[in-house]
Structure 1
Amino acid sequence: MDENQKRTAEARLDKLQKELADLKLRWPAHSLKPAMLIELEDLEEEIDNLKNLLSEK
């Protein structure tokens, strides 16, 4: 991974982490909508993938 790709991945990771934090702020105490759960899973999966990619040397 070159330096430009690394910066792009880090920027994407930062954006996804902010989206995840926003989602958790909107998280209802009751009556969770399936779309929110799917969004949570998608965000967490993409964050994990980017972290793994960035940790590779």
Structure 2
Amino acid sequence: MFWETLASSKAQYLGIIESLANQGAQAVILGCTEIGMLVNQADTQVERLDTTYIYA
């Protein structure tokens, strides 16, 4: 495997997503290709829009 994710990094992103959802966000845009490798849809109930897939 060429990349490794840290549990603390994933937890930080999930915390940010949860905070945004608590403020009314219905979805989050994953505007960097690496975020999609870190946070999966199964990790959150907030819809994630992965720009890597959108652009492809």
Q: How would you bin the TM-score normalised by the shorter chain?
A: 0.3 to 0.5
Where is the strand percentage greater, Structure 1 or Structure 2? Answer: 2
TM-score normalized by structure 1?
A: 0.35
TM-score (norm 2): 0.36
